[in-house]
């Protein structure tokens, strides 16, 4: 893997002095003494990806809790399973979620 990366780097070196000067002249210099500013929490929380994650998280939890609360009722009334059997089947899910 390292050998392949080295070969790729060598293949992309400037071939002539003119190419090297052109690249150096058109590439902005980066000052290593300047530190990048971290974004504030408000800036992060108002980005579209962050809001999408929050909406997805809320939707996931809403669906999970709806199924956990409505599932046993559905099994007992529609599928006509005994309540003791429904309770035993829902216990592993409750242990996973609330542990």
Write out pLDDT tens, residues 40-80: 999 999 999 999 999 999 999 999 888 877 877 787 788 88
In the chain, % of residues over pLDDT 90: 23
How far CA 17 is from CA of 12, 20, 25, 29, 81, in Å, comes to 14, 5, 12, 19, 82
Q: What is the pTM of this model?
A: 0.48
Domain chopping of the chain, boundaries? 2-28+39-97
pLDDT band at 7 (very low <50, low <70, confident <90, very high): very low
Inter-residue contact 51 to 60 (CB < 8 Å): no
Q: What is the mean pLDDT of residues 8-14?
A: 58
Inter-residue contact 86 to 72 (CB < 8 Å): yes
């Amino acid at each position: 893997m390292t050998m392949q990366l080295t070969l790729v780097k060598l293949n992309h070196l400037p071939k002539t002095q003119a190419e090297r000067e052109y690249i150096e002249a058109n590439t902005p210099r980066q000052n290593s003494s300047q530190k990048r500013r971290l974004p504030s929490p408000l800036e992060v929380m108002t980005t579209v990806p962050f809001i999408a994650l929050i909406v997805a998280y809320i939707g996931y939890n809403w669906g999970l809790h709806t199924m956990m609360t409505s599932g046993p009722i559905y099994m007992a009334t529609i599928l006509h399973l005994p309540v003791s059997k429904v309770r035993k089947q829902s216990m592993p899910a409750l242990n996973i979620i609330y542990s």
